[in-house]
C-alpha cells in the first residue's frame, strides 16, 4: 500500500488541495519517520516538531484564497541558512546555541509558498567541506549504504529526501554542495544561475559562488521549489535572470528544450585524477539518451584545466574566514582551522589579483564552449566514499586534497555562475546511484530544466528508493 512519503512534493500539494490529505497528517507522518530514521542517516541537527504541527494545523484551517502553490507540504531548511527563532548552528560547535532573529529570504519565500519546515538539516562546518561530519549532529549518511557519506555541504538535506523524511528540501551550493549529495544519494540537485535566488538579507555574497537551491526526487519537484525561491528581492548584488513564461515548473512539465548542441567531456577540471568507470558510464548513458532524442553531442575540452587549482584554492581558504564568536576558534574542526589559517595569510592584494586571474581564465573557458547549449560531464570522480574517509589520515591538508580529487568538476560552475544540475543517470555494480552533471548557459535555467525533464521522461523517471524507504516508522514522536 502506498504511503504519504511515496507521493512526490507536487503530488502531496495536489492531495492537500483536493482535501485527500491534511497538512497535519503529512507532518505527523514525516515526524514519525524522522524520529525513527533521522539519526540513523544523520539528516537533522534540529527537529521543530511543535512548530511544524502548529503551522500545519493553521494550514489546514486556512481558506482557499490564502493558500500558496505548495500549501501544507513539509520540507526542511539547511543548517547553514538563517531561520528566525530556530537554532542554526552552521554545522559547528562554535555556534551550537545560536538562534537567529531573522529569516533568510529563501526561508521567508518558501513559507510564503505554503511549505512547512520540519527542522534544520545537517551540514558541514561553515559549509567548508563536501562531507557533513561535525560535532553538532550525527554524520550525514547515504541511505543507500549508511557506511558511506551523504556528501556535503547539503548532506543532511539529501539524506532526508532519499530516506523519505521530507519530499524535497532547501540547500545551498558554493562548490557543488547540492549536486554532490544529489549524485551520491540518487537525487536531483539543482544549482541555479547566480542571482536567480536571493542570498539575503545578510552576508556579503562570498564572491558570488554560493547560491540557494532545491534538492528533490524529480525534476518537476525541484522546479516547483525553484519557482518558490526565485522571487526577485530588492538590493541583491546580482541581477536576476528573467524567468521563463509560466515559471520553471511549467517549463519542466513541457520538457521541450528544442534541439540542443551538447558538449561532452570527462577530463577533471581541478586536478589530474582517475575517474571511476561508473562515473564515466553515467556520462555515456546520458550522451546516448540525448543523441537518441535527436540532440547533437560533441566532444569538447573542459572549460578550464587543473592548473586553475591554485587560484581556486586561495579563494576557498579566504571563504573559510567566517566570523566566529570570541573564544570559539578552538571549537572548530581541524579542517576548518586549517583553511582559516591559510586564508588569514592571504593579503588583500593577492586576493584581488587571484580573483581577477581566475575570472580571466573562466571567461576564456566559457567563450570556448559558447557554441554548446549544455555541457555534460561527471558530477564526481568517484561514486562513493565511506564516512570518515576524508579525515582518516588526521591531516587536514590531505583531507582537503582528497576532496578536490573526489569532486573535480562542480566548483568551476560556481565560479562561472552557470546553472548546473546533477541527475541520477547511473549506478555502480552494487547498485549505488551515480550522477551525471548537465550545465547550461548563464541565465538559461528554463532550458536546462526542460532538458533534465526530457531525460527523466525518456528513462521513465528515476524515483527509485533504498531499503529504508519501505521500513515502517516507530509509533512515537519526540516533541521539541
Task: Give pTM, 2 decimals.
Answer: 0.97
Residue 478 lies in a domain: no
Categorize the per-residue pLDDT at 96 as very low, low, confident or very high, splitting at 50, 70 and 90: very high
Q: What number is the average pLDDT over the span 66-91?
A: 98
Beta bridge partners of 375: 263, 439
Q: What number is the average pLDDT over the span 310-335?
A: 96
Peptide bond into 153 cis (omega under 30): yes
DSSP run (H or E) holding 376 = strand 374-378
Contact 180, 380 (CB under 8 A): yes
Residue 11 lies in a domain: yes
Residue 205 lies in a domain: yes
Residue 364 lies in a domain: yes
Question: What are the backbone dihedrals phi and psi of residue 422, each rounded to the nearest 5 degrees, phi first?
Answer: -95, 130
Residue 477 lies in a domain: no
Residue 214 lies in a domain: yes
**What does the pLDDT look like over 20-33, one tens digit per residue?**
999 999 999 999 99
124 is catalytic: no
Categorize the per-residue pLDDT at 335 as very low, low, confident or very high, splitting at 50, 70 and 90: very high
Number of residues written out for the chain:
480
120 is catalytic: no
Catalytic one of 78, 117, 129, 407? 78
Residue 96 lies in a domain: yes
- What is the b/e burial string over 206-241, where b = at least 16 CB atoms within 10 angstroms of the residue's CB? bbbbbbbbbbbbbbbbbbbbbbbbbbeeeebeeebb
Contact 78, 151 (CB under 8 A): no
Q: Radius of gyration (Cα) for the chain, nearest Å?
A: 21
Residue 56 lies in a domain: yes
Residues 6+ positions from 349 with CB-CB distance below 8 Å: none
Categorize the per-residue pLDDT at 203 as very low, low, confident or very high, splitting at 50, 70 and 90: confident
C-alpha cell at 299: 566532444
Q: Domain of 185?
A: 4-470
Q: Give the SS3 label for residue 226.
A: helix
**CATH number of domain containing 73:** 3.90.1300.10
> In angstroms, rounded to a whole number, what is the distance separating the alpha carbons of residues 60 and 56?
6
**What does the pLDDT look like over 233-281, one tens digit per residue?**
999 999 999 999 999 999 999 999 999 999 999 999 999 999 999 999 9
Calculate the alpha carbon distances from 22 to 13, 276, 362, 450, 480 in Å: 10, 45, 49, 31, 21
Contact 205, 195 (CB under 8 A): no
Catalytic one of 177, 198, 407, 422? 177
Catalytic one of 153, 407, 420, 422? 153
As for how many domains the chain has, the answer is 1
Beta bridge partners of 78: 121
- Residue 174's CB is within 10 A of a number of other CB atoms, namely 22
Categorize the per-residue pLDDT at 472 as very low, low, confident or very high, splitting at 50, 70 and 90: confident
Q: Helix %, strand %, coil % for the chain, to 5?
A: 40, 15, 45
Residue whose C-alpha cell reads 576557498 in the numeric block: 316
Categorize the per-residue pLDDT at 1 as very low, low, confident or very high, splitting at 50, 70 and 90: low
172 is catalytic: no
Amino acid at each position: 500500500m502506498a504511503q504519504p512519503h511515496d507521493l512526490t512534493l507536487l503530488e502531496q500539494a495536489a492531495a492537500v488541495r483536493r482535501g485527500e490529505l491534511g497538512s497535519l497528517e503529512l507532518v505527523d507522518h514525516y515526524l514519525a519517520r524522522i524520529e525513527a530514521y533521522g539519526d540513523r542517516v544523520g539528516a537533522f541537527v534540529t527537529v521543530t516538531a511543535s512548530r511544524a504541527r502548529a503551522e500545519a494545523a493553521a494550514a489546514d484551517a486556512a481558506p482557499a484564497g490564502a493558500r500558496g502553490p505548495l500549501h501544507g507540504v513539509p520540507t526542511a531548511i539547511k543548517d547553514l541558512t538563517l531561520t528566525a527563532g530556530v537554532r542554526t548552528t552552521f554545522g559547528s560547535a562554535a555556534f551550537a546555541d545560536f538562534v537567529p532573529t531573522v529569516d533568510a529570504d529563501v526561508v521567508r519565500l518558501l513559507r510564503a509558498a505554503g511549505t512547512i519546515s520540519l527542522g534544520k538539516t545537517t551540514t558541514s562546518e561553515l559549509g567548508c567541506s563536501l562531507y557533513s561530519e561535525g560535532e553538532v549532529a550525527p554524520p550525514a549518511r547515504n541511505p543507500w549504504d549508511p557506511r558511506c557519506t551523504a556528501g556535503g555541504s547539503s548532506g543532511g538535506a539529501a539524506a532526508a529526501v532519499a530516506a523519505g523524511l521530507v519530499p524535497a528540501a532547501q540547500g545551498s551550493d558554493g562548490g557543488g554542495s547540492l549536486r554532490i549529495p544529489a549524485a551520491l544519494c540518487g537525487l536531483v540537485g539543482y544549482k541555479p544561475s547566480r542571482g536567480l535566488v536571493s542570498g539575503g538579507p545578510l552576508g556579503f555574497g562570498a564572491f558570488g559562488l554560493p547560491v540557494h537551491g532545491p534538492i528533490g526526487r524529480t525534476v518537476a519537484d525541484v522546479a516547483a521549489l525553484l519557482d518558490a525561491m526565485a522571487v526577485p528581492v530588492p538590493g541583491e548584488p546580482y541581477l536576476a535572470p528573467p524567468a521563463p513564461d509560466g515559471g520553471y515548473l511549467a517549463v519542466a512539465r513541457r520538457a521541450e528544450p528544442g534541439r540542443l548542441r551538447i558538449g561532452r567531456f570527462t577530463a577533471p577540471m581541478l586536478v589530474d585524477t582517475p575517474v571511476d568507470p561508473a562515473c564515466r558510464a553515467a556520462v555515456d548513458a546520458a550522451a546516448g539518451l540525448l543523441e537518441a532524442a535527436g540532440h547533437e553531442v560533441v566532444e569538447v575540452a573542459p572549460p578550464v584545466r587543473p592548473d586553475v587549482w591554485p587560484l581556486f584554492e586561495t579563494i576557498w581558504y579566504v571563504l573559510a574566514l567566517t566570523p566566529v564568536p570570541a573564544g570559539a576558534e578552538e571549537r572548530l574542526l581541524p579542517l576548518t582551522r586549517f583553511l582559516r589559517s591559510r586564508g588569514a595569510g592571504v593579503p588583500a592584494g593577492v586576493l584581488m589579483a587571484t580573483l581577477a586571474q581566475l575570472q580571466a581564465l573562466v571567461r576564456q573557458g566559457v567563450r570556448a564552449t559558447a557554441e554548446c547549449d549544455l555541457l555534460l560531464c561527471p558530477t564526481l570522480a568517484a561514486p562513493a566514499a565511506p564516512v570518515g574517509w576524508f579525515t582518516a589520515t588526521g591531516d587536514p591538508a590531505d583531507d582537503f586534497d582528497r576532496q578536490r580529487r573526489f569532486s573535480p568538476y562542480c566548483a568551476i560552475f560556481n565560479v562561472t555562475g552557470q546553472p548546473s544540475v546533477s541527475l541520477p543517470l547511473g549506478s555502480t555494480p552494487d547498485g549505488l546511484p551515480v550522477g551525471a552533471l548537465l550545465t547550461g548557459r548563464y541565465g538559461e535555467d528554463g532550458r536546462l530544466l526542460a532538458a533534465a525533464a526530457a531525460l527523466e521522461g525518456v528513462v521513465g523517471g528515476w524515483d527509485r528508493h533504498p531499503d529504508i524507504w519501505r521500513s515502517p516508522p516507530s509509533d512515537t514522536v519526540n516533541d521539541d
